[in-house]
Chains A and B, each alone.
Chain A
Amino acid sequence: MIQLWHLINANLRKEYIELKRYYPNTITMIVQFYFIFLAMLLGIHVVGDPQQIDTNVQYVIVNYVIWFFMLTIMQDLGYVILFEAQRGTLEQLFMSPLGMWRILLARIIANLVIYGVIVSVLLVLSMATAGEWLVFRIDVVLPIFLISILGMLGIGFMLAGLAIIFKQIQSVLNVLQFILMGLAFVPLSVAPYLIFAPLVKGIDMVRHVMIHGYTWLDFSFWDYSALILNSAFYLVLGVVIYLKSEKVAMEKGLLSQY
Protein backbone atom coordinates (compact mmCIF):
# COMPACT_ATOMS: atom_id res chain seq x y z
CA MET A 1 0.00 0.00 0.00
CA ILE A 2 2.75 2.41 1.00
CA GLN A 3 4.64 1.22 -2.09
CA LEU A 4 1.67 2.19 -4.23
CA TRP A 5 1.83 5.66 -2.71
CA HIS A 6 5.51 6.06 -3.62
CA LEU A 7 4.75 4.71 -7.07
CA ILE A 8 2.04 7.32 -7.63
CA ASN A 9 4.31 9.96 -6.20
CA ALA A 10 7.14 9.10 -8.58
CA ASN A 11 4.84 9.18 -11.59
CA LEU A 12 3.23 12.41 -10.49
CA ARG A 13 6.68 13.96 -10.26
CA LYS A 14 7.67 12.66 -13.66
CA GLU A 15 4.55 14.00 -15.37
CA TYR A 16 4.95 17.32 -13.58
CA ILE A 17 8.62 17.61 -14.55
CA GLU A 18 7.82 16.95 -18.18
CA LEU A 19 4.96 19.46 -18.22
CA LYS A 20 7.30 22.04 -16.78
CA ARG A 21 10.23 21.17 -19.00
CA TYR A 22 8.17 21.25 -22.18
CA TYR A 23 6.20 24.29 -21.08
CA PRO A 24 5.23 25.67 -24.52
CA ASN A 25 2.89 22.68 -24.96
CA THR A 26 1.60 23.10 -21.44
CA ILE A 27 0.90 26.79 -21.88
CA THR A 28 -0.92 26.16 -25.15
CA MET A 29 -3.11 23.62 -23.39
CA ILE A 30 -3.86 25.99 -20.53
CA VAL A 31 -4.72 28.88 -22.82
CA GLN A 32 -6.97 26.59 -24.85
CA PHE A 33 -8.92 25.52 -21.81
CA TYR A 34 -9.29 29.05 -20.59
CA PHE A 35 -10.74 30.32 -23.84
CA ILE A 36 -13.03 27.36 -24.34
CA PHE A 37 -14.50 27.86 -20.87
CA LEU A 38 -14.71 31.58 -21.36
CA ALA A 39 -16.44 31.23 -24.71
CA MET A 40 -18.97 28.84 -23.25
CA LEU A 41 -19.67 31.06 -20.26
CA LEU A 42 -20.03 34.21 -22.33
CA GLY A 43 -22.37 32.26 -24.59
CA ILE A 44 -24.93 32.60 -21.81
CA HIS A 45 -25.23 36.31 -22.50
CA VAL A 46 -25.00 36.18 -26.23
CA VAL A 47 -27.64 33.56 -26.91
CA GLY A 48 -31.21 34.66 -26.17
CA ASP A 49 -33.16 34.06 -23.04
CA PRO A 50 -30.74 33.68 -20.14
CA GLN A 51 -33.34 31.90 -17.99
CA GLN A 52 -33.55 28.98 -20.37
CA ILE A 53 -30.10 28.96 -21.86
CA ASP A 54 -28.40 29.13 -18.50
CA THR A 55 -29.03 25.54 -17.50
CA ASN A 56 -28.13 24.34 -20.96
CA VAL A 57 -24.84 26.18 -21.01
CA GLN A 58 -23.99 24.95 -17.56
CA TYR A 59 -24.75 21.45 -18.73
CA VAL A 60 -22.63 21.85 -21.83
CA ILE A 61 -19.66 23.01 -19.77
CA VAL A 62 -19.95 20.21 -17.25
CA ASN A 63 -20.44 17.75 -20.07
CA TYR A 64 -17.38 19.10 -21.81
CA VAL A 65 -15.26 18.72 -18.70
CA ILE A 66 -16.50 15.20 -18.18
CA TRP A 67 -15.89 14.37 -21.81
CA PHE A 68 -12.35 15.72 -21.55
CA PHE A 69 -11.52 13.60 -18.52
CA MET A 70 -13.11 10.51 -20.01
CA LEU A 71 -11.12 11.01 -23.18
CA THR A 72 -7.94 11.39 -21.17
CA ILE A 73 -8.58 8.23 -19.22
CA MET A 74 -9.52 6.28 -22.28
CA GLN A 75 -6.60 7.30 -24.49
CA ASP A 76 -3.83 7.96 -22.05
CA LEU A 77 -2.80 4.43 -21.17
CA GLY A 78 -2.68 3.44 -24.82
CA TYR A 79 -0.44 6.41 -25.52
CA VAL A 80 1.76 5.60 -22.53
CA ILE A 81 2.39 2.16 -24.02
CA LEU A 82 3.06 3.56 -27.50
CA PHE A 83 5.44 6.29 -26.33
CA GLU A 84 7.32 4.03 -23.94
CA ALA A 85 7.68 1.44 -26.68
CA GLN A 86 9.03 4.09 -29.04
CA ARG A 87 11.46 5.40 -26.47
CA GLY A 88 12.50 1.84 -25.66
CA THR A 89 11.80 2.17 -21.96
CA LEU A 90 8.73 -0.07 -21.98
CA GLU A 91 10.66 -3.19 -21.01
CA GLN A 92 12.27 -1.42 -18.06
CA LEU A 93 8.80 -0.52 -16.80
CA PHE A 94 7.83 -4.16 -17.14
CA MET A 95 10.76 -5.01 -14.86
CA SER A 96 9.09 -3.39 -11.85
CA PRO A 97 8.00 -5.95 -9.24
CA LEU A 98 4.88 -3.84 -8.73
CA GLY A 99 3.68 -4.81 -12.20
CA MET A 100 3.04 -2.71 -15.25
CA TRP A 101 -0.67 -2.38 -14.55
CA ARG A 102 0.08 -0.57 -11.31
CA ILE A 103 2.46 1.77 -13.10
CA LEU A 104 -0.26 2.51 -15.64
CA LEU A 105 -2.67 3.12 -12.81
CA ALA A 106 -0.19 5.48 -11.20
CA ARG A 107 0.30 7.34 -14.48
CA ILE A 108 -3.43 7.85 -14.95
CA ILE A 109 -3.92 8.97 -11.36
CA ALA A 110 -1.03 11.39 -11.78
CA ASN A 111 -2.59 12.81 -14.92
CA LEU A 112 -6.02 13.08 -13.35
CA VAL A 113 -4.57 14.99 -10.42
CA ILE A 114 -2.61 17.35 -12.65
CA TYR A 115 -5.45 17.96 -15.11
CA GLY A 116 -7.93 18.13 -12.25
CA VAL A 117 -5.99 21.01 -10.74
CA ILE A 118 -5.48 22.77 -14.07
CA VAL A 119 -9.13 22.45 -15.12
CA SER A 120 -10.50 23.51 -11.72
CA VAL A 121 -8.30 26.55 -11.53
CA LEU A 122 -9.09 27.61 -15.09
CA LEU A 123 -12.78 27.03 -14.62
CA VAL A 124 -12.81 29.32 -11.59
CA LEU A 125 -10.60 31.81 -13.41
CA SER A 126 -12.81 31.94 -16.48
CA MET A 127 -15.94 32.21 -14.32
CA ALA A 128 -14.38 35.17 -12.58
CA THR A 129 -13.46 36.74 -15.92
CA ALA A 130 -16.93 36.24 -17.34
CA GLY A 131 -18.66 37.23 -14.10
CA GLU A 132 -20.85 34.21 -14.67
CA TRP A 133 -20.85 31.49 -12.02
CA LEU A 134 -21.82 27.90 -12.56
CA VAL A 135 -24.20 26.78 -9.88
CA PHE A 136 -24.88 23.08 -9.73
CA ARG A 137 -24.92 20.21 -7.27
CA ILE A 138 -21.30 19.22 -7.43
CA ASP A 139 -21.85 16.94 -4.43
CA VAL A 140 -24.11 14.82 -6.63
CA VAL A 141 -22.25 15.19 -9.91
CA LEU A 142 -18.80 14.38 -8.55
CA PRO A 143 -19.57 10.89 -7.14
CA ILE A 144 -21.44 9.92 -10.31
CA PHE A 145 -18.46 11.19 -12.29
CA LEU A 146 -15.98 9.23 -10.18
CA ILE A 147 -17.89 5.98 -10.55
CA SER A 148 -18.15 6.53 -14.31
CA ILE A 149 -14.39 7.06 -14.39
CA LEU A 150 -13.81 3.50 -13.21
CA GLY A 151 -15.65 2.14 -16.23
CA MET A 152 -13.62 4.33 -18.52
CA LEU A 153 -10.47 3.18 -16.79
CA GLY A 154 -11.43 -0.33 -17.87
CA ILE A 155 -11.69 0.87 -21.48
CA GLY A 156 -8.30 2.58 -21.01
CA PHE A 157 -6.68 -0.67 -19.90
CA MET A 158 -8.32 -2.51 -22.77
CA LEU A 159 -6.79 -0.09 -25.27
CA ALA A 160 -3.44 -0.23 -23.49
CA GLY A 161 -3.51 -4.01 -23.87
CA LEU A 162 -4.25 -3.72 -27.56
CA ALA A 163 -1.47 -1.13 -27.89
CA ILE A 164 1.07 -3.61 -26.49
CA ILE A 165 0.18 -6.09 -29.19
CA PHE A 166 -0.69 -3.81 -32.10
CA LYS A 167 1.65 -0.88 -32.05
CA GLN A 168 -0.22 0.79 -34.92
CA ILE A 169 -3.21 1.57 -32.73
CA GLN A 170 -2.72 5.33 -32.76
CA SER A 171 -5.36 6.00 -35.41
CA VAL A 172 -7.86 3.88 -33.48
CA LEU A 173 -7.20 5.97 -30.38
CA ASN A 174 -7.89 9.10 -32.39
CA VAL A 175 -11.13 7.86 -33.91
CA LEU A 176 -12.42 6.78 -30.53
CA GLN A 177 -12.75 10.33 -29.30
CA PHE A 178 -15.54 10.95 -31.79
CA ILE A 179 -17.34 7.81 -30.73
CA LEU A 180 -16.93 8.94 -27.15
CA MET A 181 -18.28 12.36 -28.00
CA GLY A 182 -21.31 10.68 -29.52
CA LEU A 183 -21.83 8.65 -26.37
CA ALA A 184 -21.45 11.71 -24.20
CA PHE A 185 -24.10 13.73 -26.00
CA VAL A 186 -26.79 11.18 -26.91
CA PRO A 187 -29.46 10.96 -24.16
CA LEU A 188 -30.41 7.48 -22.98
CA SER A 189 -34.07 8.22 -23.67
CA VAL A 190 -33.26 8.35 -27.36
CA ALA A 191 -31.25 5.10 -27.40
CA PRO A 192 -32.09 3.02 -24.29
CA TYR A 193 -29.84 0.09 -25.22
CA LEU A 194 -26.84 2.40 -24.82
CA ILE A 195 -27.18 1.70 -21.11
CA PHE A 196 -24.85 -1.23 -21.81
CA ALA A 197 -22.25 1.03 -23.36
CA PRO A 198 -19.61 2.46 -21.05
CA LEU A 199 -20.05 5.94 -19.64
CA VAL A 200 -23.54 6.62 -21.04
CA LYS A 201 -25.47 5.90 -17.85
CA GLY A 202 -23.23 8.18 -15.83
CA ILE A 203 -23.54 11.03 -18.29
CA ASP A 204 -27.30 10.55 -18.41
CA MET A 205 -27.51 10.86 -14.63
CA VAL A 206 -25.36 13.99 -14.70
CA ARG A 207 -27.76 15.39 -17.31
CA HIS A 208 -30.68 14.79 -14.97
CA VAL A 209 -28.85 16.57 -12.16
CA MET A 210 -27.88 19.50 -14.30
CA ILE A 211 -31.03 20.05 -16.31
CA HIS A 212 -33.85 18.56 -14.28
CA GLY A 213 -32.40 19.37 -10.89
CA TYR A 214 -32.22 15.78 -9.67
CA THR A 215 -30.51 15.11 -6.33
CA TRP A 216 -29.58 11.90 -4.52
CA LEU A 217 -33.10 10.76 -3.74
CA ASP A 218 -34.51 11.39 -7.16
CA PHE A 219 -32.55 8.51 -8.61
CA SER A 220 -33.87 5.01 -8.10
CA PHE A 221 -32.04 2.00 -6.79
CA TRP A 222 -31.90 0.79 -10.39
CA ASP A 223 -30.18 3.93 -11.54
CA TYR A 224 -27.40 3.47 -9.02
CA SER A 225 -27.17 -0.28 -9.67
CA ALA A 226 -26.92 0.27 -13.41
CA LEU A 227 -24.23 2.90 -12.94
CA ILE A 228 -22.14 0.80 -10.58
CA LEU A 229 -22.58 -2.48 -12.46
CA ASN A 230 -21.76 -0.84 -15.76
CA SER A 231 -18.54 0.64 -14.39
CA ALA A 232 -17.55 -2.53 -12.54
CA PHE A 233 -18.17 -4.62 -15.65
CA TYR A 234 -15.97 -2.50 -17.89
CA LEU A 235 -13.28 -2.13 -15.27
CA VAL A 236 -12.95 -5.87 -14.72
CA LEU A 237 -13.24 -6.68 -18.42
CA GLY A 238 -10.64 -4.04 -19.24
CA VAL A 239 -8.09 -5.24 -16.71
CA VAL A 240 -8.60 -8.89 -17.71
CA ILE A 241 -8.09 -8.05 -21.38
CA TYR A 242 -5.04 -5.98 -20.48
CA LEU A 243 -3.40 -8.76 -18.48
CA LYS A 244 -4.16 -11.27 -21.22
CA SER A 245 -2.57 -8.93 -23.77
CA GLU A 246 0.57 -8.69 -21.63
CA LYS A 247 0.89 -12.47 -21.72
CA VAL A 248 0.36 -12.63 -25.46
CA ALA A 249 2.99 -9.93 -26.00
CA MET A 250 5.47 -11.82 -23.83
CA GLU A 251 4.77 -15.03 -25.68
CA LYS A 252 5.32 -13.43 -29.07
CA GLY A 253 8.21 -11.20 -28.02
CA LEU A 254 6.37 -7.99 -28.84
CA LEU A 255 7.43 -5.83 -25.89
CA SER A 256 10.58 -4.64 -27.61
CA GLN A 257 8.96 -3.91 -30.95
CA TYR A 258 7.25 -0.78 -32.16
Chain B
Amino acid sequence: MEKIIQVKDLSKTYKKKKTKEIVKAVDSVSFDVYRGEILGLLGPNGAGKTTTIKSICGLLVPNGGSVHINGYDSNKQRLKALNYISAVLEGNRNIYWRLTVRENLEYFAGNRGVNRRHIQDKIDELLAFFDLKKKETELVSSLSRGMQQKLAIAVALLADTDVLLLDEPTLGLDVETSYEVRDLLKKIVEQQGKTIIISSHDMPVVQDVCDRTVIINGGKVVADEKVEDLIKLFDTRAYSFTIEGQLSEKQTRLIQNHFPIFDVQDNQVQITVEKENDLYTMMDILKSDQTKIEKIDRTTVDFEQVFMQLIQKEGQDDPAVASH
Protein backbone atom coordinates (compact mmCIF):
# COMPACT_ATOMS: atom_id res chain seq x y z
CA MET B 1 0.00 0.00 0.00
CA GLU B 2 1.10 3.49 -0.75
CA LYS B 3 2.33 5.61 2.11
CA ILE B 4 0.72 9.00 1.80
CA ILE B 5 2.02 10.46 5.05
CA GLN B 6 5.32 9.65 6.71
CA VAL B 7 5.99 11.00 10.15
CA LYS B 8 9.59 10.36 11.11
CA ASP B 9 11.20 11.02 14.49
CA LEU B 10 8.98 14.04 14.97
CA SER B 11 9.87 16.09 18.02
CA LYS B 12 8.44 19.34 19.26
CA THR B 13 9.21 21.23 22.41
CA TYR B 14 7.53 24.33 23.75
CA LYS B 15 8.82 26.85 26.19
CA LYS B 16 6.21 27.62 28.81
CA LYS B 17 5.56 31.34 28.81
CA LYS B 18 5.59 31.98 32.53
CA THR B 19 7.94 29.40 33.94
CA LYS B 20 10.27 29.19 30.92
CA GLU B 21 10.09 25.46 31.49
CA ILE B 22 10.67 23.29 28.41
CA VAL B 23 7.78 20.95 27.55
CA LYS B 24 8.45 17.96 25.30
CA ALA B 25 5.04 17.85 23.64
CA VAL B 26 6.04 15.30 21.01
CA ASP B 27 9.11 13.14 21.41
CA SER B 28 10.49 11.19 18.47
CA VAL B 29 7.16 10.11 17.07
CA SER B 30 7.16 7.98 13.91
CA PHE B 31 4.28 6.43 12.00
CA ASP B 32 3.05 6.06 8.46
CA VAL B 33 -0.38 6.60 7.04
CA TYR B 34 -1.51 4.62 4.02
CA ARG B 35 -3.72 5.89 1.27
CA GLY B 36 -7.40 5.23 1.90
CA GLU B 37 -7.15 4.27 5.53
CA ILE B 38 -8.71 5.90 8.51
CA LEU B 39 -6.20 6.25 11.30
CA GLY B 40 -6.98 7.05 14.90
CA LEU B 41 -4.48 9.07 16.86
CA LEU B 42 -5.43 8.15 20.36
CA GLY B 43 -4.13 9.50 23.63
CA PRO B 44 -5.17 11.20 26.85
CA ASN B 45 -5.25 14.98 27.19
CA GLY B 46 -1.83 16.51 26.79
CA ALA B 47 -0.46 13.43 25.01
CA GLY B 48 0.66 15.47 22.03
CA LYS B 49 -2.13 14.75 19.54
CA THR B 50 -2.80 18.33 18.56
CA THR B 51 0.89 19.04 18.29
CA THR B 52 1.30 16.05 15.97
CA ILE B 53 -1.67 17.08 13.82
CA LYS B 54 -0.46 20.66 13.54
CA SER B 55 3.02 19.51 12.59
CA ILE B 56 1.49 17.44 9.80
CA CYS B 57 -0.43 20.54 8.69
CA GLY B 58 2.76 22.58 8.67
CA LEU B 59 1.34 24.93 11.30
CA LEU B 60 4.20 24.08 13.61
CA VAL B 61 7.86 23.81 12.71
CA PRO B 62 9.24 20.70 14.45
CA ASN B 63 12.45 20.78 16.48
CA GLY B 64 13.46 17.47 15.02
CA GLY B 65 12.33 14.90 12.51
CA SER B 66 10.07 15.44 9.57
CA VAL B 67 6.64 14.94 8.07
CA HIS B 68 6.24 14.07 4.40
CA ILE B 69 2.94 14.29 2.57
CA ASN B 70 2.94 12.69 -0.85
CA GLY B 71 6.70 13.11 -0.70
CA TYR B 72 6.64 16.80 0.17
CA ASP B 73 8.16 18.00 3.42
CA SER B 74 5.36 19.70 5.34
CA ASN B 75 7.79 22.24 6.69
CA LYS B 76 10.32 22.90 3.93
CA GLN B 77 7.81 22.54 1.08
CA ARG B 78 4.84 23.68 3.09
CA LEU B 79 2.62 25.14 0.40
CA LYS B 80 3.14 22.18 -1.94
CA ALA B 81 2.28 19.77 0.85
CA LEU B 82 -0.84 21.76 1.71
CA ASN B 83 -2.29 20.88 -1.69
CA TYR B 84 -2.92 17.39 -0.35
CA ILE B 85 -4.32 18.07 3.11
CA SER B 86 -7.13 19.88 4.77
CA ALA B 87 -7.96 19.91 8.44
CA VAL B 88 -10.61 20.57 11.01
CA LEU B 89 -8.66 21.74 14.02
CA GLU B 90 -9.58 21.42 17.66
CA GLY B 91 -12.55 23.47 18.84
CA ASN B 92 -15.35 25.26 17.07
CA ARG B 93 -13.50 28.13 15.47
CA ASN B 94 -12.61 26.70 12.11
CA ILE B 95 -15.25 28.74 10.31
CA TYR B 96 -16.53 32.31 10.29
CA TRP B 97 -19.42 32.87 12.65
CA ARG B 98 -20.36 36.08 10.88
CA LEU B 99 -20.84 34.37 7.52
CA THR B 100 -23.60 32.03 6.49
CA VAL B 101 -23.16 28.34 5.89
CA ARG B 102 -22.85 28.70 2.13
CA GLU B 103 -20.67 31.80 2.36
CA ASN B 104 -18.20 29.87 4.50
CA LEU B 105 -17.98 27.08 1.96
CA GLU B 106 -17.47 29.54 -0.87
CA TYR B 107 -14.96 31.66 0.99
CA PHE B 108 -12.64 28.87 2.03
CA ALA B 109 -12.74 27.33 -1.43
CA GLY B 110 -11.86 30.75 -2.85
CA ASN B 111 -8.94 30.94 -0.44
CA ARG B 112 -7.52 27.88 -2.15
CA GLY B 113 -7.89 29.60 -5.50
CA VAL B 114 -11.04 27.79 -6.61
CA ASN B 115 -13.60 29.41 -8.88
CA ARG B 116 -16.79 30.00 -6.95
CA ARG B 117 -19.02 29.16 -9.88
CA HIS B 118 -17.38 25.81 -10.48
CA ILE B 119 -18.18 24.43 -7.06
CA GLN B 120 -21.85 25.25 -6.64
CA ASP B 121 -22.94 21.67 -7.41
CA LYS B 122 -20.35 20.26 -5.08
CA ILE B 123 -21.53 22.61 -2.34
CA ASP B 124 -25.13 21.48 -2.83
CA GLU B 125 -23.98 17.89 -2.60
CA LEU B 126 -22.13 18.52 0.64
CA LEU B 127 -25.03 20.47 2.13
CA ALA B 128 -27.29 17.53 1.39
CA PHE B 129 -24.79 15.01 2.72
CA PHE B 130 -24.40 16.87 5.99
CA ASP B 131 -28.09 17.71 6.23
CA LEU B 132 -27.39 21.44 6.23
CA LYS B 133 -29.39 22.39 3.17
CA LYS B 134 -32.11 24.12 5.18
CA LYS B 135 -29.52 26.14 7.06
CA GLU B 136 -27.47 27.32 4.13
CA THR B 137 -28.43 30.98 4.45
CA GLU B 138 -28.15 31.10 8.21
CA LEU B 139 -25.28 32.66 10.08
CA VAL B 140 -22.91 30.14 11.62
CA SER B 141 -23.27 31.87 14.98
CA SER B 142 -26.89 30.73 15.10
CA LEU B 143 -26.11 27.05 14.46
CA SER B 144 -25.79 24.35 17.08
CA ARG B 145 -22.32 23.10 17.97
CA GLY B 146 -22.98 19.90 16.03
CA MET B 147 -24.01 21.74 12.89
CA GLN B 148 -20.99 23.99 13.16
CA GLN B 149 -18.79 20.94 13.36
CA LYS B 150 -20.46 19.35 10.37
CA LEU B 151 -19.98 22.54 8.40
CA ALA B 152 -16.31 22.66 9.37
CA ILE B 153 -15.92 19.12 8.04
CA ALA B 154 -17.82 20.08 4.88
CA VAL B 155 -15.48 23.03 4.35
CA ALA B 156 -12.49 20.73 4.70
CA LEU B 157 -14.04 18.21 2.29
CA LEU B 158 -14.77 20.88 -0.29
CA ALA B 159 -11.03 21.41 -0.61
CA ASP B 160 -11.07 17.93 -2.13
CA THR B 161 -7.67 16.94 -0.80
CA ASP B 162 -6.32 13.39 -0.51
CA VAL B 163 -6.00 13.63 3.26
CA LEU B 164 -8.38 14.96 5.85
CA LEU B 165 -7.17 15.63 9.40
CA LEU B 166 -9.65 15.92 12.24
CA ASP B 167 -8.54 16.96 15.69
CA GLU B 168 -11.03 15.77 18.32
CA PRO B 169 -13.98 15.98 15.92
CA THR B 170 -16.55 14.76 18.44
CA LEU B 171 -15.34 16.77 21.42
CA GLY B 172 -18.08 18.92 22.88
CA LEU B 173 -20.84 17.27 20.85
CA ASP B 174 -23.82 15.63 22.46
CA VAL B 175 -23.96 11.85 22.21
CA GLU B 176 -26.43 11.78 19.37
CA THR B 177 -24.52 14.23 17.20
CA SER B 178 -21.29 12.46 18.02
CA TYR B 179 -22.76 9.25 16.59
CA GLU B 180 -24.02 11.13 13.56
CA VAL B 181 -20.58 12.60 12.89
CA ARG B 182 -18.96 9.18 13.28
CA ASP B 183 -21.33 7.67 10.75
CA LEU B 184 -20.72 10.49 8.32
CA LEU B 185 -16.97 10.00 8.62
CA LYS B 186 -17.31 6.28 7.89
CA LYS B 187 -19.41 7.10 4.85
CA ILE B 188 -16.85 9.59 3.61
CA VAL B 189 -14.14 6.94 3.68
CA GLU B 190 -16.36 4.40 1.94
CA GLN B 191 -17.64 6.71 -0.76
CA GLN B 192 -14.71 8.97 -1.47
CA GLY B 193 -11.69 6.84 -0.66
CA LYS B 194 -10.20 9.62 1.44
CA THR B 195 -7.37 9.13 3.87
CA ILE B 196 -8.44 10.36 7.27
CA ILE B 197 -6.58 10.93 10.50
CA ILE B 198 -8.73 11.39 13.55
CA SER B 199 -7.28 12.39 16.87
CA SER B 200 -9.28 11.65 19.94
CA HIS B 201 -8.98 10.89 23.61
CA ASP B 202 -12.23 9.01 23.32
CA MET B 203 -11.66 5.31 22.76
CA PRO B 204 -15.09 4.31 21.47
CA VAL B 205 -14.78 6.87 18.68
CA VAL B 206 -11.52 5.38 17.48
CA GLN B 207 -12.72 1.81 17.94
CA ASP B 208 -15.87 2.58 16.01
CA VAL B 209 -14.43 4.56 13.13
CA CYS B 210 -10.78 3.68 12.63
CA ASP B 211 -8.94 0.83 10.92
CA ARG B 212 -5.73 1.35 12.75
CA THR B 213 -4.68 3.29 15.78
CA VAL B 214 -1.51 5.00 16.85
CA ILE B 215 -1.64 5.48 20.57
CA ILE B 216 0.48 8.22 22.02
CA ASN B 217 1.13 9.12 25.59
CA GLY B 218 3.52 11.67 27.01
CA GLY B 219 4.56 12.58 23.47
CA LYS B 220 5.63 9.02 22.59
CA VAL B 221 4.05 6.30 20.48
CA VAL B 222 3.08 3.38 22.71
CA ALA B 223 1.21 1.32 20.14
CA ASP B 224 0.67 1.25 16.41
CA GLU B 225 -1.72 -1.56 15.49
CA LYS B 226 -4.90 -2.46 13.70
CA VAL B 227 -7.70 -1.79 16.13
CA GLU B 228 -8.99 -5.39 15.94
CA ASP B 229 -5.51 -6.85 16.41
CA LEU B 230 -4.92 -4.72 19.41
CA ILE B 231 -8.08 -5.97 21.03
CA LYS B 232 -7.32 -9.57 20.08
CA LEU B 233 -3.83 -9.30 21.45
CA PHE B 234 -5.12 -8.31 24.81
CA ASP B 235 -8.16 -10.52 24.72
CA THR B 236 -6.10 -13.66 25.03
CA ARG B 237 -4.51 -12.37 28.15
CA ALA B 238 -7.54 -11.39 30.12
CA TYR B 239 -8.71 -13.67 32.91
CA SER B 240 -11.64 -13.51 35.17
CA PHE B 241 -11.43 -15.10 38.62
CA THR B 242 -14.61 -15.95 40.42
CA ILE B 243 -13.84 -16.23 44.11
CA GLU B 244 -15.64 -17.06 47.29
CA GLY B 245 -16.24 -13.94 49.33
CA GLN B 246 -14.37 -10.71 48.87
CA LEU B 247 -10.77 -9.69 48.42
CA SER B 248 -8.97 -8.53 51.51
CA GLU B 249 -7.41 -5.11 51.58
CA LYS B 250 -3.95 -6.60 51.41
CA GLN B 251 -4.89 -8.68 48.39
CA THR B 252 -6.34 -5.67 46.65
CA ARG B 253 -3.14 -3.76 47.20
CA LEU B 254 -1.00 -6.61 45.95
CA ILE B 255 -3.09 -7.02 42.84
CA GLN B 256 -3.05 -3.33 42.24
CA ASN B 257 0.73 -3.29 42.45
CA HIS B 258 1.17 -6.23 40.17
CA PHE B 259 -1.51 -5.79 37.56
CA PRO B 260 -1.90 -2.39 36.05
CA ILE B 261 -5.33 -3.29 34.77
CA PHE B 262 -7.73 -4.98 37.08
CA ASP B 263 -11.35 -4.81 37.80
CA VAL B 264 -13.27 -6.02 40.81
CA GLN B 265 -16.98 -6.60 40.85
CA ASP B 266 -18.36 -8.44 43.87
CA ASN B 267 -16.70 -11.81 43.69
CA GLN B 268 -15.38 -11.33 40.19
CA VAL B 269 -11.78 -10.21 39.72
CA GLN B 270 -10.61 -9.53 36.24
CA ILE B 271 -6.92 -9.13 35.43
CA THR B 272 -4.84 -8.83 32.31
CA VAL B 273 -1.62 -10.79 32.39
CA GLU B 274 1.54 -10.10 30.49
CA LYS B 275 3.64 -13.14 31.28
CA GLU B 276 2.53 -16.73 31.88
CA ASN B 277 3.90 -16.42 35.39
CA ASP B 278 1.47 -13.64 36.19
CA LEU B 279 -1.33 -16.12 36.35
CA TYR B 280 0.44 -18.02 39.13
CA THR B 281 1.24 -14.81 40.93
CA MET B 282 -2.46 -14.07 40.96
CA MET B 283 -3.21 -17.48 42.38
CA ASP B 284 -0.56 -16.95 45.04
CA ILE B 285 -2.07 -13.67 46.02
CA LEU B 286 -5.49 -15.29 46.38
CA LYS B 287 -4.03 -18.21 48.29
CA SER B 288 -2.25 -15.92 50.73
CA ASP B 289 -5.54 -15.22 52.48
CA GLN B 290 -7.01 -18.62 51.78
CA THR B 291 -9.43 -17.19 49.27
CA LYS B 292 -11.11 -19.99 47.37
CA ILE B 293 -11.16 -19.81 43.59
CA GLU B 294 -14.44 -21.03 42.17
CA LYS B 295 -13.72 -20.48 38.53
CA ILE B 296 -11.12 -19.05 36.15
CA ASP B 297 -12.31 -17.83 32.75
CA ARG B 298 -10.76 -16.20 29.80
CA THR B 299 -12.65 -13.02 29.12
CA THR B 300 -12.71 -10.21 26.65
CA VAL B 301 -11.31 -6.84 27.40
CA ASP B 302 -12.73 -3.69 25.99
CA PHE B 303 -10.70 -1.15 24.14
CA GLU B 304 -10.68 1.17 27.06
CA GLN B 305 -8.85 -1.37 29.20
CA VAL B 306 -6.28 -1.91 26.46
CA PHE B 307 -5.78 1.78 26.27
CA MET B 308 -5.38 2.16 30.00
CA GLN B 309 -2.90 -0.65 30.13
CA LEU B 310 -0.75 0.81 27.36
CA ILE B 311 -0.72 4.16 29.03
CA GLN B 312 -0.01 2.59 32.39
CA LYS B 313 3.16 0.95 31.13
CA GLU B 314 4.58 4.35 30.39
CA GLY B 315 3.96 5.84 33.78
CA GLN B 316 4.38 2.82 36.06
CA ASP B 317 4.87 4.88 39.18
CA ASP B 318 1.49 6.50 38.90
CA PRO B 319 -1.01 4.01 40.30
CA ALA B 320 -3.83 6.51 40.49
CA VAL B 321 -5.54 5.24 37.36
CA ALA B 322 -5.01 1.53 38.03
CA SER B 323 -8.61 0.63 38.51
CA HIS B 324 -11.80 1.92 37.09
Contacts and interface: CB of A to CB of B under 8 A. Distances in A.
Partners in one complex: yes
B110 A250 contact: no
Interface in A1-38: 2-4, 6-7, 9-11, 13-14, 17-18, 21-22
Interface in B69-116: 79-80, 82-83, 85-87, 89, 91, 93-99, 103, 106-116
Q: Mostly helix, strand, loop or mixed at chain A's interface?
A: helix
A13 B14 contact: no
Contacts of B98: 18, 21-22
A160 interface: no
Given A13-B110, A103-B111, A88 B91 contact: yes
A78 to B, nearest CB: 19
Contacts of A7: 110-111, 113
Interface residues of B, number: 38
A84 to B, nearest CB: 9
Contacts of A17: 99, 103
Given A10-B106, A18-B98, A251-B61, A92 B89 contact: yes
A97 B82 contact: yes
A93 interface: yes
B59, B89, B106 interface centre (most CB from chain A within 10 Å)? B59
A88 B112 CA distance: 18
Interface string A59-102: 00000000000000000000000000001110111111111000
Contacts of A9: 110, 116
B87 A6 contact: no
B108 A92 contact: yes
A212 interface: no
Contacts of A14: 96, 99, 103, 107
A252 B57 contact: no
Given A18-B99, A92-B94, A95-B87, 10 more contacts: A3-B112, A4-B113, A9-B110, A10-B109, A13-B103, A14-B107, A21-B98, A88-B94, A97-B112, A247-B61
Interface of A: 2-4, 6-7, 9-11, 13-14, 17-18, 21-22, 87-89, 91-99, 103, 247, 250-253, 255-256
Interface of B: 12, 14-15, 51, 54, 57-61, 79-80, 82-83, 85-87, 89, 91, 93-99, 103, 106-116
13 contacts: A3-B112, A6-B110, A6-B113, A6-B116, A7-B110, A10-B110, A13-B110, A92-B94, A97-B79, A99-B79, A247-B61, A252-B14, A253-B14
